[in-house]
Amino acid sequence: MMLALVGGTHRTVPLALRERLVFSADQAIDAMRRFRERFPGREVVLLSTCNRVELYSAGEQSAGPPPTDQMVSFLAECRGIEKSELAGVLDGQLDEGVVRHLFSVASGLDSMVLGEPQIIAQVKQAWAIARDSETAGPLTGEMFSAALRTAKRVTSETSIGRERLSIPSIAVADFASGVFERFDDKQVLLLGAGKMASETLRYLRTAGARDILILNRSRSRAIDLADRLGATSGAWEDLEQQLQSADLVVSTTGATKPIVSEAMFSRAFSRRCGRPLVVLDLAVPRDFDPSIGRRPGLWLYSIDDLGAACEANRKSRQRELPAAIAIVDEETRRFMGDLHHRSSGSVIERLRADWSETGDTELERLFHRLPKLDPAEKSEIRQAFERYANKLLHPPMESLRSASHAGPPHGLLDALKRLFDLKD
C-alpha cells in the first residue's frame, strides 16, 4: 500500500455532522502537521470544503500510509468527535481507488453540481497549503498534479462544466426565483466576500438584481468586492438592521458558528411587517441558526436543500458522463502504471550498477593487455561496451514497463533479482 484516503461527502455525511468536521485553512495546517508528527515519513493532504472532508496520505516501503481506521480516529480527534459517530459515514480507499476518486473529484464528477468549477480551485488550494506546510511530498505531489491535468482534459474534451453551473447559480435560479418573479425591485443582502460570494453576486446581477449590499467582517474585502462588481458595502455591525429591510439574503461566510442567532433574527423579523424573506444559507457550518426556519413568510434554504435541483442538473448532463469517466479511467491507469514502474526503479538501478561495474572491470583488464591503444580507440571500445549493455538491458526494462501497467510487477522483480543475483 502506497496511497490511502478516508473521507465523506454530502452524500454520506449529514449537514449537522459536516459542520463539525469542516476545517478552516489554519485548522487544516495544524492537523496535517500533527499527522506528520504522529505518522513520521508519511505525506498528507487535507481537502475540506462545504460538501466534503477528505484526508489523503501516501508513503513508500516501510513508511506507508497508516491504516484507514487510524486515519478516521485522527480526524475524529482533530474535530473533537467520537469515532463511533463517523462509523458508516466516512469511506476508505487504497492505492488505485484513491487515485480514481481524487481524479473524479478534481474533474467535478463527484460534486453536488456535476462539473461545478469551484472544486478545481479548492483542490489546488488544498495541495498548495500542504506544500507550504511541508506535509506533501513526491507521491501526493505527482497525484495532485495528475488530478489537475485530468480535470483539464475533462473540461476541454467534454461539455461537462461548460455551462458553468454551480451551487450559487442553482440557488438563485431554482430557489430564489421560485419565490420572486423578478429581482430588479428587490433588496439583496450578501454576507461574505469570498469566492462563493463573488460568484453569487455575478449570478444575481445576471438575474436582474440591482440593489445589492455586501457585509463582511473585513470591511476592506466587502468594499473591494462591491467596487469590482458594482454593488455597495456596509458595516458588519449593521447586520441586524439590514435583515429588517432585505428581501433576499445570501450567506457565504466562513464562520465556525451561526452569525445570525434565533434572538437576533426574531428581533429583525418582527419589524418586517409581514414582508416575505428568502434566505439562501450556502455556508458550512451554517450561518443561520436552523431553528429560525419555522416562520410563515420565511423561506430558509441550506446547502443540502439544493440536492433535488442538483440531481436534476446531473441528469441533464448525464450524456457526457461516460466520456468524462473514460478520461478519468485512462489517466488513473497511466498514473498507476507510472507508480508501479517507480517501484522497479531500485532494481533497475542495481542492475545497471552491477553491469557497469562488471564492464569497467573487463575494460580495465582489456586495456591492460592492449597497452598500445590510444585514447580515441579506448573511448570507442568503451562506447561499444555501453551500447551492448544497454541493448541487453532493454528487454527486461521493457517487460517491467509493460507489466507495470497491469499492476505491481512483484513477480518479475523477484525473478530479476534471483536471475542476476541482485542484493538488497
Active site residues: 50
299 neighbors 271 (Cβ within 8 angstroms): no
CA neighbor of 20 nearest in space, from 69, 89, 122: 89
Please give the full DSSP string across 160-211, using - where no structure is assigned. TTTT---HHHHIIIIIIHHH-S-STT-EEEEE--SHHHHHHHHHHHHTT--E
DSSP state for residue 236 in the 8-state scheme: G
Q: Which three cell numbers stand for residue 224?
A: 473591494
DSSP state for residue 288 in the 8-state scheme: B
Give the C-alpha distances (Å, rounded to integers) separating 154 from 19, 141, 190, 347. 30, 20, 32, 36
271 neighbors 244 (Cβ within 8 angstroms): yes
Give the C-alpha distances (Å, rounded to integers) separating 358 from 152, 363, 378, 390, 422. 47, 9, 17, 14, 13
Q: What is the dihedral of CA 201, 203, 209, 213, to 10 degrees?
A: -10
CA neighbor of 254 nearest in space, from 216, 225, 221, 283: 283
- Burial of 319 from C-beta contacts in 10 A (0-12 / 13-18 / 19+): exposed
Question: Who's near 312: CB < 8 A, 6+ residues apart?
Answer: none
CA neighbor of 236 nearest in space, from 270, 192, 300, 204: 192
61 neighbors 13 (Cβ within 8 angstroms): no
